[in-house]
Structure formats: C-alpha cells, structure tokens
Structure 1
Amino acid sequence: MPESESRVWYAAYGANMHVERLRYYLDGGRPPGATRTFPGCRDRRPPERSVPVVLPGRVYFATDSPVWGGGRAFYDPAAGGTAWAVAHLLTAGQFSDIAAQEMYREPGVDLDLAEVRAAGRRALGPGRYETLVCPGLLDGVPVLTFTAPWPMPGDGGLRTPSAAYLRHLAAGLGRAGAWAHAEVAAYLAACPGAAGHWTAGAVAGLNVPTAPTGPPVRPSRCRPGPRRS
C-alpha cells in the first residue's frame, strides 16, 4: 500500500469534530460564515469511520478567530487532564491535505509522518496549527492532529470562546453519541479560556442542534504507542 493510502486517525478537537464542517476540507468550498474558500483534498472520499475518543492532555481556547469571534481551540498533549475529540479514519494523504489547508498552504503534497509517529511531535512551522502531534494509537492505527507550537498558556494568553463557536463544538461532540448534552456542556465550560467566563448551564442553554437518536456509544481511549529513543 502506498504511504499516502495508509490509514491514520485524524483527531479533531475543534470545529472539525462536526462531520459537515470537515466536508469542506475534503470536498472544497466555503463553510457558512468563513472568510476563505478551501480547495479540498485530492481524495474526497468521506471518513471510513468517525468515533468519539478521549486523548491525554487538555483543549484550551486562545488567540482570536476571524470566523467565530473569540478564542479558538488548541490542544496541549502535555497538559494534565483529558481532551474529548472525534477521530476520523482517513488516508495519510487526506490528513496531509487537511493539515495543509489548516496551515494556509496548498494541499497536494504528502507529509512525511514518520517523525511524528515515532517521536509524538513534529513542528512544520511557527504557525498556529503547524505542529503535528501523535498522542498515541487507536485500534493499532496512529492518531494524529495539529496544534500550536506553544504549551497551554496562563490566564493572560487565553481567550474566551464565542457562543457560536461553543454551540458548534457542542453539536460535534453531541453527534458523536458518547456524551450526554449536560456532560458536553460541563466539559466545554471547564476548558481553559472558557472556565470562569462560561458556566455549564450557560453552555447547555445554547441552541445546540439535537444529536441523532440511538444507543449511546463508549468513547475510545487513545493508547500510547512505542517511541524511538
């Protein structure tokens, strides 16, 4: 199997938890409210699977989003705690193209993922989402995502997320089917940047789209993988 066709889990912890939002990165186009049009991936097939997953580390809100207003989500795998995400099973080529679009680069070049798989981290540049992270394995397949190069900042570097952004994140987590609405609200309200500005009740009161009905599923846990010394 060519390297670009090997499978990886893309762990989305922000807007791309929502499969409908992820489709713009796969198919191309401009999401509602966005200021840019995404070119899309070379391979526009949907994810083979999308599952709720718990990662080691924390999600926090920082910088200012030109689309949503307020802080946007970042992930620090070294911070104590757990982060909730939705893992999409994609090809390595699709992950490369999604990462390129998040980095404001043109898709079409396969990233060398060997270093991040082996070391757990690889910086491709100084930008907000130009650091690749591999927090571990899920079903024996590498889990990959991207985040900022800096660790989770103190209170001075955090930014409060907007209601529209939290509503979108709550919808993405809710549709994963692993967590009740109240649990999602409490989780998001406790994330650094939101904590102290949003309460669980306030997040629960947002007009979050109803998740599909069905039996609840258990979230998977990302397991540490072997690392080269």
Structure 2
Amino acid sequence: MDPGRPGVPPERVWYAAYGSNTDPARLGYYIAGGRPPGAARNCPGCRDHRAPRESVPVELPGVLYFATESEVWSGGRAFYDPDVPGSVVRAHAHLITAGQFADIAAQEMYRSPGTDLDLRTVLHEGRARLGPGRYETLICPGLLDGLPVLTLTAPWQCADMAWNRPSGTYLRHLAAGLRSADAWDTGSVARYLAGAPGAAGVWTAEAVEALLSGAPGDDGPPGVGPG
C-alpha cells in the first residue's frame, strides 16, 4: 500500500474492512440488502447491487481493538486506531464504487443510504469526522493501485476505551473473512484476533481457531467470563 494521496476523488475506492465485513458473504448483505443470519435488523443495501470488482488482503498501520457493546453480536465491536505505532491491522479490501462506499458507511452509522459522501477532506488529510459515534470517522491510510484505501472507525483512541470481549459468533465472522483473503493461515489469524485488546486474556488462539471448525463459542471459551 502506498501512503500517498489521490489528486481528485475517484469513481472507485478500496473499502478496507477489518470487522465483520471482512467476510464477503456478510458484505453482500450491505450491498444487496436483506437480513444476515443471526442479525437483529435488515440491511437496506446499496443503490448499486454489483459485487466488488476485486477483494485483496491489506495491512493497515495501527491496532485492532474491541470495545462498546454490539446490539447485533452481544459483545465488543471491532475498531481501528491508526495512531498506535509498531503494529498492523489485517483487513480485506474490497474494490467498490465511491457511491457503494457511501451507502455502506451510512448503514454502519445506522443512517439511511442514498447520499454520496464528500471525500475531499479524508483524501487530503487522511481523516474526516462525520459524527461523534462509532464508525462515523473516515480514515484513508494510503493508496492501492493508485486508488484510495478507505475505512471507518470511531473518533476515540484505543487507550481511552474500556475494552470489551467480542462474542464467538463475531470472531467467527472476522476469522472467516480474514482467511478468505487468502493471505494468512488459520493459526496466524487466530493468534492475531486473540491478541487484540478486548480479546487478549479472554480468548486464546486455540479457542478462536476452534470457531472456524464450527465449535460452539458464542459466549467465550469455557470458564472465561466477559472482559
């Protein structure tokens, strides 16, 4: 990934998903609409229902952590702090239109899709705060094949948050999505997720790896309480 900046907002962008949308099947509901299995609400979908033109693995500078309480997953949500040095966040980057990115962002913010985003600030400065809540801050860590890499996170920093244990169902989606990127093996993905703040000390790499084999784990490993 190139740390440069594009000159003008392009028609296509790379959406770097590091949470449940690492899983292409899950992302499909944000694009085409419908209720994902186990979800509490419907996704309205994008105006453009076309699947991503391409999906590739990327590593973003910063750290992944789990915090707040998800109404969908009953555990901590994944967030990205780009300001933590010395580590990387693994993501699945999906090549989509700028309009599709705007509609996915709206759904993550619990807003109605259908309005394009003004990307000039995030593309020029690397960050744009659209609101005070989770997933209402846009980040552009650089370029991939000349197109901007964009993702969503919260305005706060990892060190300022009370971390929260993610559920097994949620971790299963993240692990499956990262494995589908075809860049990291199962053990590496499990160690990465189990080491993230909020999961570390609660989930073991072995327990995360077991989730991919269909083992139960929605409430965490046996004998381990919430973080």
CA offsets 1:137-161 (integer angstroms, 9 cap, x no match):
111110001111101135x610011
Q: How does 1:135-214 map to 2 (within 5 A)?
A: 135-154=141-160, 157-208=162-213
Is contact 1:170-1:208 (8 Å) kept? no
Question: 1 CA distance for matches of 2:21 and 2:96?
Answer: 13
For 2:93, the aligned partner's letter is A
Aligned to 1:39: 44
Secondary structure, aligned partner of 1:24? helix
**Counterpart selection for 1:30 from 31, 35, 39:** 35
Deviations 1:59-113 (A, max 9, x none): 1000011111110100011112100000000010000010011111111111000
Q: Which residue of 2 aligns with 1:124?
A: 130
Tell me whether 1:82 sits opposite 2:85 in the alignment.
Answer: no
- Conserved? CA contact 1:9–1:144, under 8 Å: yes
CA RMSD of aligned residues (A): 1.5
SS in 2 for 1:205: helix
Q: CA deviation at 1:207?
A: 3.5
| 8 Å Cα contact 1:27/1:40 also seen in 2 | yes
Contact 1:171-1:208 at 8 Å conserved across structures: no
Q: Percent identity of the aligned residues?
A: 64
Preserved CA contact (<8 Å) 2:9 2:120: no
1:92 aligns with 2:98: yes
Partner of 1:101: 107
Tell me the distance in 1 between the aligned counterparts of 2:75 and 2:159.
16
Structure 2's unaligned 5+ residue stretches are 1-7, 215-227
Q: Cα offset for 1:182? A: 0.4
Structure 1: tracts of 5 or more residues without a match: 210-229
**Residue 74 of structure 2 is aligned to residue 69 of structure 1:** yes
Q: Distance in 1 between matches of 2:120 and 2:204?
A: 41
TM-score scaled by structure 2?
0.87
Distance 1:70 1:108 in 2: 29
> Counterpart amino acid of 2:60?
L
**What is the distance in 2 between the residues matched to 1:173 and 1:180?**
9
Task: Say which of 46, 49, 54 aligns to 1:49.
Answer: 54
- Give the Cα separation in 1 of the matches to 2:208 and 2:45: 32
For the Cα contact (< 8 Å) 1:7–1:91, is it kept in 2? yes
Partner deviation per Cα, 1:14-40 (whole Å, 9 max, x = no partner): 000000000111111111111111111
Taking the aligned partners of 2:9 and 2:140, their CA distance within structure 1 comes to 17
| In structure 1, C-alpha distance between the alignment counterparts of 2:213 and 2:58, rounded to whole Å | 21
Partner of 2:222: none
The count of aligned residue pairs is: 206
Task: Tell me, in whole angstroms, the C-alpha distance in 1 between the residues paired with 2:89 and 2:152.
Answer: 14
Within 1, Cα distance between the matches of 2:91 and 2:213?
17
